[in-house]
Structure 1
């Protein structure tokens, strides 16, 4: 794949702006991303070198090697089906609102408003979870010892300062413009491929363990084991629980949709970015997680190590090479958080643009760099705040994946009923006769994973979801939001709306840096 930085032909740029105008929005954000950049922002946010490591024990400590060798491909099929179903809708409605906008158009403003909250909260929690993972194991366990710092000497204040600094730096890079952020995610996109190959090769070459591929299809119920991730379960439930490894890793690919208004030829490049980011992540991710299983001296002992298993399997690699790998892993995980801030802030901006958030008047503002500056910093602050109380954060980070599963399923479910009725104009990316089968499969799969995601030890997530729904319904009906929130523009644009769009774009051109 080549980085697409060339200036698009005038007709392509005009087409993007015309389509955005048709949906009722001005071209406020800077459209500087090409096909590869749109792919890279999702690929960097999925980041198999983040979730594939920090969530690995969700699979291994469930049904053992079979959760990896058989569970990952099964979870990958689900992820690809969801991605394809989302990509078709994204091709029709390439806006920064993504899932929220699609749900509003296809299922009505109430459905869209609920989707927005599940998606936005899930994304904020994801930023926090990613950066927490960058702290430990990548900084605390792998990087700090390189400078003579003992991991056990680093406490809550060190963690808080670290998380504040990296999240603020990610917000700053986003604030300065999409050109800077996208160039960094472009580099990370290539590095994920390269570092995965180097890491897998190094693990296999220097491992003292004889490779035994039968490990990858061997079922062994490790639930209930001391140090494991799961309480005692049946083998069938253990295998289902293990699917959360793939689900927790292959998520965040809606980033391609949230950067639609910054991508050239969005109706084509956004759906491609969604599908390709998931496809390559599943393929390279499978090789990665399988290599972990194959080089472990003892799977039972590795389960008791938690994320420490990774440090243990790196140990046989020669020092200089291991240090280079660890530093690159730290950088890639940092960029994963950067991409998450990009995605979250665009979602917040788009929802605020339609008046869906408290303080929408401020959150929808675009700065001189043509980025949603206030939304960027609010996203960062919220992500920092929710890491401060450990007990609450553990529940919320587990819930983030469930929130995202639900938000992915909602517009797809709405599309099942809207297709051929209110949804008659599709974009260039179409599933044809597979449209509804893919949509139904995506919704069923999302519900299954959401169900697994609220089982012990994450049963508190269900209370969070029920509580959230109760609060949202109270706000929607009790606080009068149902009447005051109009949602995205629908139908033909009025003359007044067109004049407003033209005027807004003219003012932005005058203030651009």
Structure 2
């Protein structure tokens, strides 16, 4: 049985996503396979093998964050999660600021994964030229369009892709790392490094200042362990959302943290030649290739490609639900059209199409100026943490506003204040690490530019809409409880 929230909205989606599907959504958008594969080189070349021990630091910090967000999801299981939570705790204008960061994050992050991660790997698997920018653009466009088509047709199709991705993530990262580690244990004495023990995991790069190395090493986990609230973005399509969504978010964060550490230790201990692996553009592929040979390594790359595609699918769903949620409250251009759900497919088709067009435009811009795209993608590391920081700040300031009339499937109780405070401290540290160093200065300007665009829309149009009541949250006076089969 499913009890709807007293949110002031008419039911827009059928509730078809059950517990495992919600977990798969959160787990796939975190995607330890994608995150470790893309970011491992940075940590290895800055701090060295010791970077693996900063992964659990990031995992613990993000678990603190997810615990707070899970409580919010239990109270307010609504599409466009961070926007809705912030708006209902603090106010529509504050929610608009948080939601705008989410729109920026989705618009750049999805094409970034497609062009920088999925496209060159797909070309490599197919034996094509992975340096051909035109070819990479074609692959990225096809992957993005396909990911959005899956979502347009029916949300259950997207759920099936992500259900498979759970097993692909585990096999392609954790199982592979264990196999590689076992092969290393059997034949490590014959490696170019002459074999090394677990003490190798404490090795640091002497050429990098320790402070810079720590930041660089931590980025493996910081870049990867985000997005678990995607399950909450799909809350209006979830069965028993108040209970299943918070548990899916927590499970995804904890399991990703544990399995990611196992994978990092396995791959790092199995490094056959540190200098060669550090010089490789794809260190994990170099490690796997040494121990498994070309055929099994290609199988590994296929699994990674599928994991990245699954991430595109769930990111497309999450992006469109945020646009839908903000449009439903009249906060965006073309709000009336984007707030519609197609009666046959039960998906927000217009929001999906708008999100697709924005992604393709940014993809084209990034391809014309590769350096600009690298900067844009770098900005997406900072944006989600800013959104988390604002949401956590709103939670601490206005937690007593949490409504209890509909019940909640997850409560922190007396642990709420210490957990939220520690999570806020963690987020302040991460935001500082991602914005203060000179290496991230260009990305800072991109974020400021995105905020400026959101501010321009607010001043030019949205402020008037909010003032005359044509935009903003609906009346949330409790209504008759609706019960539907689950």
Q: Distance in 2 between matches of 1:373 and 1:262?
A: 15
Alignment of 1:60-459 (within 5 A): 60-68=44-52, 70-141=53-124, 143-145=125-127, 149-152=128-131, 155-207=132-184, 208-209=187-188, 210-223=195-208, 234-308=209-283, 310-367=285-342, 368-388=344-364, 389=366, 390-420=370-400, 422-425=401-404, 427-454=408-435, 455-459=437-441
479-488 or 408-417: bigger deviation: 479-488
1:474 Cα deviation from its structure 2 partner: 3.6
1:319 Cα deviation from its structure 2 partner: 4.1
Q: Tell me the secondary structure at the aligned position of residue 360 of structure 2.
A: helix
1:127 Cα deviation from its structure 2 partner: 1.1
CA contact (8 A) 2:70 2:247 kept: yes
Query: Which of the numbers 21, 24, 49 marks the counterpart of 2:8?
Result: 24
Q: Distance in 2 between matches of 1:236 and 1:489?
A: 48
Residues 133-187 of structure 1: CA deviation (Å, up to 9, x unaligned): 443542133x022xxx3434xx221111111111111111100111111111111
Q: Distance in 1 between matches of 2:241 and 2:64?
A: 21
Q: Distance in 2 between matches of 1:443 and 1:125?
A: 25
1:118 Cα deviation from its structure 2 partner: 0.3
Q: Tell me the secondary structure at the aligned position of residue 310 of structure 1.
A: helix
| Map of 2:443 onto structure 1 | 461
1:44 Cα deviation from its structure 2 partner: 0.8
Superposition TM-score, scaled by structure 2 size: 0.90
CA contact (8 A) 1:87 1:272 kept: yes
| Map of 2:34 onto structure 1 | 50
Residues 29-58 of structure 1: CA deviation (Å, up to 9, x unaligned): 221100010010110111111111101123
Q: Distance in 2 between matches of 1:205 and 1:417?
A: 50
Q: Distance in 2 between matches of 1:418 and 1:160?
A: 45
108-117 or 235-244: bigger deviation: 235-244
Distance 1:474-1:313 versus aligned 2 partners, 3 A rule:
same
CA contact (8 A) 2:49 2:200 kept: yes
What's the C-alpha RMSD, in Å, of the aligned pairs? 2.1
| Map of 1:489 onto structure 2 | 474
Residues 316-352 of structure 1: CA deviation (Å, up to 9, x unaligned): 3044433332222222221111111111111111111
Q: Distance in 2 between matches of 1:456 and 1:387?
A: 25
CA contact (8 A) 1:103 1:411 kept: yes
Q: Distance in 2 between matches of 1:328 and 1:468?
A: 34
Distance 1:261-1:172 versus aligned 2 partners, 3 A rule:
same
246-255 or 290-299: bigger deviation: 290-299
Residues 169-214 of structure 1: CA deviation (Å, up to 9, x unaligned): 1111100111111111111112222333431133223345335211
CA contact (8 A) 2:74 2:241 kept: yes
Q: Tell me the secondary structure at the aligned position of residue 246 of structure 1.
A: helix
- Matched positions, count: 462
Distance 1:119-1:150 versus aligned 2 partners, 3 A rule:
closer
CA contact (8 A) 2:37 2:284 kept: no
Superposition TM-score, scaled by structure 1 size: 0.85
CA contact (8 A) 2:27 2:253 kept: yes
Distance 1:470-1:328 versus aligned 2 partners, 3 A rule:
closer
Distance 1:196-1:480 versus aligned 2 partners, 3 A rule:
closer
Q: Tell me the secondary structure at the aligned position of residue 440 of structure 2.
A: coil
1:361 Cα deviation from its structure 2 partner: 1.3
CA contact (8 A) 1:163 1:384 kept: no
| Map of 2:191 onto structure 1 | none
Q: Distance in 1 between matches of 2:217 and 2:472?
A: 38
